[in-house]
Amino acid sequence: MNTLTSKTPFLASEGVSVQFFDRDTPVLREMNVEIAKNEAVLLLGPSGSGKSTLLQVLSGIIPRSIEAWFKGTVIRPERVGVMFQDPDAQFCMLTVEDEIAFSLENRLVPRAQMRGIIEQVMRDVRLEVPLTTPIRELSGGLKQRLALACLLALEPEVLFVDEPTAQLDPLNTQLVIEDLRRLKGQKTLVMIEHKLDGVVEWVDRVLLFNATGQLVAQGNPREILRDHAQMIREYGIWQPKLWPVTWDEMLATVKHPLADRLEHQLAVQANSIGATLASDGKLLEQTQSDPHVSKAPILEVREASLRYKNGHVVWQGLNVSVQPGEWVAILGPNGAGKSTFLKLVGGLIEPTKGQVQVKGKTLSRYRTPELYDTVGFVFQNPEHQFIADTVFEEVAFGGKVAGWAQERIEQESVQLLTDFRLLDLRDKNPFTLSQGQKRRLSVAGMLLKRQEVLLLDEPTFGQDAATTAELLQRMQERNEAGTTILMATHDVELVAEYATRVLVIGEGKLLYDGRPHALFQQPDLLQRASLTAPLAYEYQLRRREQAAKDQGGHDSAKHEEPALVGRNSSEQKEGDLRV
C-alpha cells in the first residue's frame, strides 16, 4: 500500500510544505504521504514534529481555518471529520440534540430526517442520555463521545482524530478508543494518540516523524516500534506497556521476560510498603482505621462537605489525616472533585461543613502569606501561575516576596532552573515557552520556598514520557527530603510506583483510603471510580483467573471475558522508564 500507484490515491499529500507565519522554519517540507481507503493510520512523533500539522493539512484545516504558507497538493475525499483534544472547545450549542443537528444542518439534511439520524449516531457511540441534556452536564468522556457522534453525523469517509483522550480518565479513554476501533474497516482513520496501548494493536500502519518534521519510517506497528525503539525512547514518546506481547502469549509462556519484570514490580511495590511501615511505625495502618492518630499529622481534614449554591454536592463527610513525608495520590473519575479537594486543603475554598487543619492549626486562622510558606500549590494549567515577565523572575518571585537576600535568591533560583533544564531560557517570557517547559517552570516556581506540603493538580497531564519522568524524579527528591506530597492524577502506573498512599474520590465521597497495593487488587472498586489497574496488577489478576480456570475445569465462568478493568491497557506508562 505504500508504493505509489498510477491511479489517483484516496487520501494523500504530494510535496506539501507548510510554514507558519510566526516561525522561521517550515514545519513540513516536501511531505509525501498516501493513505488507502479504510486504512487505519497512526501518526507518531515527538511534540513539534509536525504530525498535528500534517493532520490539519490532510483534513483541510490548513489552509481553510488556519492561515499558513502552504505549497503542494492534497488529495482528499469530499467528506471528512476531525475530532479534537479539548472537550470544551468543539461545540457551539447548549444541548446534545442541537449539537448533533448542527452537523446535519451544515450538510443541508432535510429537517424531517434529522431526528432519526441523531438517535442513530448516539446509539453508534453509546451515548445514552436524553436528547435535551445540556452539554455542560456531560463529563469529559461523554463530551468526547458526543464529539464523535457529531462527526459521524457528517457521514465522513475519513475520520481524523487528534489526541481525543488526552483529557480523559482511564476508563473513558478506553471507551473512546473502543468506539474508534469499531469504525475500523468502515472509515479511513488517521490518528494522533499519545496513549498507545489499545491503539497499536489494531492500526494498520504507523508513520514515524522525527523532531524536525521528517517522515523517518512507516510500516506496520510491530516493525516500526521494534526497529526504531532507540529513537522513540530518546524522543520521549510514550510506548505501549504490553504490546507487542499479548496476554495469552505471556500467560502461556513459562518465565516470560515481561512477566518477570511485572512480578518484580509487584514484589517491589508490596515491599516498599513494608519499608515505610518499618521506618514509620504502624502509622499507615492506623490512618486507615482511625484518622485521629497519636503522632501529629501535618494535614487533617475533618468531616468536610462541599455543596454548591445550586444544591449540587461535590463530596461529603471526608476524613483524611496525612502524616509528614507521605506521598498521597488522589484518584477518581473526571469531575469527581479531586481538584476541589486539593483546593480545600490549600485553603482556596471553604468547606460547607467541617474543617481543615495544617500543622494542627485551622486554615481560617492562618494569615495568607504564612499559609503559603507551608503549602505550595501547582495548578493544572501552568499559565495561571505565571506572574513575572521572565523565566528567572518567575522562579525568584517567592524569594523576593519573602525578602531574601539577593545572593540567596540568585543562587537558589539558578539551582532550580538548572535542575529543571530551564537555565538557557532564563530571560524568555514564560508565555512563550513550549508546553513541557511551561509545566517544568510552574513546578520550579513553586519549589523555591521549600514548603513542607506540596499540592499538585495533575502535574503530568499532557506531558511526554521524558518530561513526566523528569518531573517525578524531582518530586521524589523533594519527598525524600521530607516534603509531603498530595497529587491529583489519572495515571495509575505513577501511583503504583511512587505513592505511599492513595485516596479515591468518587460518588460524592471518599471511596478508598489506603495503600496503592491494596487498591489495585480490587477490580470492582477500580471500575466504580473509572480507573484501570496498572499493568503489573492486571497481570496478577489474569494469572489468578487462569489458575482458577485450570482448577475449576469446565466451569461456565471460564468462557466469560475477564473483568473490564482487567482488559484495559490504556494507561500511559512504560515500565522501563520507571524502574
Partner 1 sequence: MSDLYTAGQVPSSYASSLVVRVNPSVKLGLHLLCMLVFIFVHDPVTSCGLMLIPMVLALTAARIPVWTFVKRMAPFLLLFISTTWILSAYGKGETVLWHGGWVTITQEGLVKGLNIGLRMLGFVAYGALFAMTTEVTLLALSLMQQCKLPPKFGYALLAGFRFLPMFKEEYEQIKSAHRVRGVARVPGLRGKLETFTRYTIPLLAQGIRKAERVAIALEARGFDGTHNRTFYRELRVGANDAIYFSLLLSLHLLVYLVLTKFI
DSSP state of 315: E
Contact with partner 1 (CB under 8 A) among 86, 124, 201, 350 = 86
Q: Is 367 in the site for partner 1 (CB under 8 A)?
A: no
Q: Is 21 in the site for partner 1 (CB under 8 A)?
A: no
Please give the Cα distance from 495 to 331 (Å, whole number): 9
Which range, of 96-104, 228-236, 358-366, 554-562, touches partner 1 by CB under 8 A?
96-104
Residue 171 CB, nearest approach to partner 1 (Å): 24
Query: Is 137 within 8 Å of 310 (Cβ atoms)?
Result: no
Instruction: Rank residues 111 and 282 by Cβ distance to partner 1 and give the closer one.
Output: 111
Residue 104 CB, nearest approach to partner 1 (Å): 7
Q: Is 52 in the site for partner 1 (CB under 8 A)?
A: no
Among 551, 556, 518, 553, which residue's Cα sits nearest to residue 537? Answer: 518
Cell 521530607 belongs to 482
Q: Which amino acid is at 459?
A: P
Contact with partner 1 (CB under 8 A) among 240, 398, 436, 566 = 398
Contact with partner 1 (CB under 8 A) among 108, 254, 278, 557 = 108
Please give the Cα distance from 466 to 457 (Å, whole number): 19
Q: Is 476 in the site for partner 1 (CB under 8 A)?
A: no
Please give the Cα distance from 466 to 239 (Å, whole number): 11
Contact with partner 1 (CB under 8 A) among 33, 35, 91, 166 = 91
Residue 38 CB, nearest approach to partner 1 (Å): 21
Cell of 324: 509528614
Backbone angles phi, psi at 482, to 5 degrees: 115, -5
Q: Is 508 in the site for partner 1 (CB under 8 A)?
A: no
Locate all alpha helices (DSSP H) within 355-464, ordered by sequence.
368-374, 391-401, 406-419, 435-447
Instruction: Rank residues 16 and 62 by Cβ distance to partner 1 and give the closer one.
Output: 62
Positive or negative CA dihedral for 432, 437, 442, 447?
A: negative
Query: Is 521 within 8 Å of 514 (Cβ atoms)?
Result: no
Contact with partner 1 (CB under 8 A) among 58, 146, 149, 154 = 154
Q: Distance of CA 185 to CAs 159, 204, 273, Å?
A: 12, 10, 47
Q: Is 310 in the site for partner 1 (CB under 8 A)?
A: yes
Q: Is 435 in the site for partner 1 (CB under 8 A)?
A: no
DSSP state of 323: -
Cell of 348: 482556596
- The 10 Å Cβ neighbour count of residue 309 is 6
Q: Is 369 in the site for partner 1 (CB under 8 A)?
A: yes
Q: Is 386 in the site for partner 1 (CB under 8 A)?
A: yes
Q: Is 384 in the site for partner 1 (CB under 8 A)?
A: yes
Instruction: Rank residues 226 and 384 by Cβ distance to partner 1 and give the closer one.
Output: 384
Q: In 3-state terms, what secondary structure has residue 201? A: coil
Please give the Cα distance from 98 to 84 (Å, whole number): 19
Q: Is 151 in the site for partner 1 (CB under 8 A)?
A: yes
Which range, of 130-138, 164-172, 187-195, 330-338, touches partner 1 by CB under 8 A?
130-138
Query: Is 231 within 8 Å of 206 (Cβ atoms)?
Result: no
**DSSP string covering 369-394, please?**
HHHHHHEEEE-SSGGGG--SSSHHHH
Q: Is 26 in the site for partner 1 (CB under 8 A)?
A: no
Residue 137 CB, nearest approach to partner 1 (Å): 9
Polymer length in residues for the chain: 579
End-to-end CA distance of the chain: 39
Which range, of 200-208, 342-350, 481-489, 565-573, touches partner 1 by CB under 8 A?
342-350
Q: Is 104 in the site for partner 1 (CB under 8 A)?
A: yes
Which range, of 217-225, 242-250, 256-264, 379-387, touches partner 1 by CB under 8 A?
379-387
Q: Is 459 in the site for partner 1 (CB under 8 A)?
A: no
Please give the Cα distance from 45 to 213 (Å, whole number): 9
Contact with partner 1 (CB under 8 A) among 109, 216, 231, 414 = 109
Give Cα 2 to chain centroid, integer Å: 33
Q: Is 67 in the site for partner 1 (CB under 8 A)?
A: no
Backbone angles phi, psi at 117, to 5 degrees: -65, -40
Q: Is 444 in the site for partner 1 (CB under 8 A)?
A: no
Q: Is 90 in the site for partner 1 (CB under 8 A)?
A: yes
Q: Is 119 in the site for partner 1 (CB under 8 A)?
A: no
Q: Is 343 in the site for partner 1 (CB under 8 A)?
A: yes
Please give the Cα distance from 191 to 51 (Å, whole number): 10
Q: Is 548 in the site for partner 1 (CB under 8 A)?
A: no
Residue 223 CB, nearest approach to partner 1 (Å): 32
Instruction: Rank residues 226 and 309 by Cβ distance to partner 1 and give the closer one.
Output: 309
- Residues making contact with partner 1 (CB under 8 A): 59-61, 64-66, 80-82, 84, 86, 88-95, 97-98, 101-111, 114, 134-136, 150-151, 154, 308-310, 343, 346, 348, 368-369, 372, 375-377, 379, 381, 383-387, 397-398, 401-402, 431, 445
